[in-house]
Amino acid sequence: MNLHSAIVEPTLNDWPEEPGTSIDDLLWLGRDMSMGLAVQKQPRNEKAIARYFSRITCRIRMNQHETDNYAYDGDPGQDKNLLGHLKDVCAQSIRKLDYEKEIALLTEIAEEWVQRRKQRNNNAGNTGYTPMPADRQARRA
């Protein structure tokens, strides 16, 4: 067993649960769970909201990027649900409108992929790659 798995990981996993853990401590950990806890502790903390928003949307944008012969990476339904939660988190922010614009675009893309997967499952013989429509690619640029 190495130092990281024996001491560092357990300490970092327990840290957010410690009484008196500050918002900055939680944000410093840089994990989804700790950032979510920071927002729960102080739902109007702009720094916590911004970091949590950035963390979640960056991951979802990565899931939604397309490369040749490959489509959505991950579960678009799960991402859509997470974006709904993120919209609620950002509702108290002074940057609410900016956040909602980004969330709406990412949600629309996730919903398109949910529908594509449903269609693909209904047409069991069609397992080919369906690229993102050109107009959607242009909007993302």
Taking only the tens place, the pLDDT of each residue in 125-137 is: 555 555 555 555 5
pTM of the model: 0.73
- Report which of residues 11 and 133 the model is more confident about: 11
Q: Pick the closest to residue 53 from 108, 109, 103 (CA basis).
A: 103
Which two tokens mark 18?
């410690």
Taking only the tens place, the pLDDT of each residue in 31-88 is: 888 888 889 989 999 999 999 999 999 999 999 887 655 678 889 999 999 999 999 9
CA distance 19 to 62: 34
For range 109-114, the mean pLDDT: 92
**Does residue 33 contact residue 13 with C-beta atoms inside 8 Å?**
no
pLDDT at 31: 80
| pLDDT at position 4 over 90 | no
Least confident of 15-24, 52-61, 75-84, 99-108: 15-24
For range 10-25, the mean pLDDT: 70
Domain ranges of the chain: 3-121+131-140
Instruction: Give me the half-sphere count of Cα atoms (radius 13 Å) on the Cβ side of residue 8.
Output: 6
**Does residue 43 contact residue 23 with C-beta atoms inside 8 Å?**
no
Output phi, psi for 67, to 5 deg: -125, 170
Instruction: Band the pLDDT of 6: cuts 50, 70, 90.
Output: confident
| pLDDT at position 5 over 70 | yes
